[in-house]
Amino acid sequence: MAEHDERAHRDEWLHTWIGSSDPDHIRLGGLDLATEVMGQMTLTEVTYFLVTRRQPTAGERRVLDAVLVSLADHGLTPTALAARLTYTGAPEAIQGAIAAGLLGAGSVFLGPAGDTAEFLAAAVARGQAADEAVAARVAAGLRVPGLGHPLHKVEDPRTPRLYALAQQEGLLGPHLMLLREVAAAHEEQTGKRLPINGAGAAGAALVDIGVPPGSARGVVLVARTAGLVAHLAEEALSPLGPRLYAEVERRASDP
């Protein structure tokens, strides 16, 4: 008995809350997968549930869906091109092409959603005002995350929409509000007006609905995976990879 307890204790670190199986049941966060999850919950609800360990309210679900669909795809981005070019070499291993597409979600593309989430959450946790938080970044020579977009220079069309949805659902929380103040403080301190970008608004909204800041970058990748699957479906029908390669080769070899 003592031995059994000790072993149970020794292996506690190997337990996971997320999922488990036995011959007759599969459980997800303690729910029975077949009867309590399948047919009852959407992928968005399961994503929320697995990451936060509680069911989303209707409003949280609606905001989460808005965030996810806002970042699912933006056409022939470096991420989509990397996935399609990987498919060119290894069409039999579609998981590799998707992984290649996700690997570009870093500090420049997509990652800023998570960076904004972490920046705002740290400021809120410290009770730091927007102008202090901005001043600290500017002093350290760092960019303020969540601001500016190479294409949407005046306004990112996703941002007002996400704020409006959060407001409608009563979920315009401290992180979305701080981000607005951050944009104003940034303009005041630098003289440069940068709009809140869609990734930044997404990151703020995720924290406001309860997603841990460190999971924001990952949550966004669930949606991006959907976009990449669509690119690979299109690539299978009308291959862009081989033609892009051929054109690059030809132009690179031009005397």
115's torsion region: left (phi>0), alpha (psi -120 to 50) or beta? alpha
Tokens found for residue 2 = 């003592």
The nearer residue to a second copy, 103 or 188, going by C-beta atoms, is: 103
Q: What are the φ and ψ backbone dihedral angles of 25, each rounded to 5 degrees? A: -135, 150
Interface mask (CB under 8 A) for a second copy, residues 20-39, using x and -? xxxxxxx-x----xxx-xxx
Residues numbered 176-235 forming contacts with a second copy, rule: CB under 8 A = 198, 212, 214-215, 217-219, 221-223, 225-234
Q: How many CA atoms lie within 13 A of 233 on its CB side?
A: 6
Residues numbered 128-157 forming contacts with a second copy, rule: CB under 8 A = 151-155, 157
Neighbours of 133 (CB within 10 A): 22
Q: Among residues 148, 247, 249, 244, which one has the least CA distance to residue 198?
A: 148
Q: Cα 239 to chain center, whole Å?
A: 28
Neighbours of 229 (CB within 10 A): 17
The nearer residue to a second copy, 28 or 130, going by C-beta atoms, is: 28
**Considering only residues 56, 114, 146, 200, which one is a binding residue for a second copy as defined by CB under 8 A?**
114
d(CA 115, CA 143): 11
User: CB of residue 55 vs a second copy: minimum separation in angstroms?
Assistant: 13
**Considering only residues 57, 88, 128, 189, which one is a binding residue for a second copy as defined by CB under 8 A?**
88
Size of the site for a second copy (CB under 8 A): 122
**Considering only residues 92, 125, 141, 191, which one is a binding residue for a second copy as defined by CB under 8 A?**
92
Residues numbered 42-81 forming contacts with a second copy, rule: CB under 8 A = 42-44, 46-47, 50-51, 62, 65-66, 68-70, 72-81
User: CB of residue 96 vs a second copy: minimum separation in angstroms?
Assistant: 4
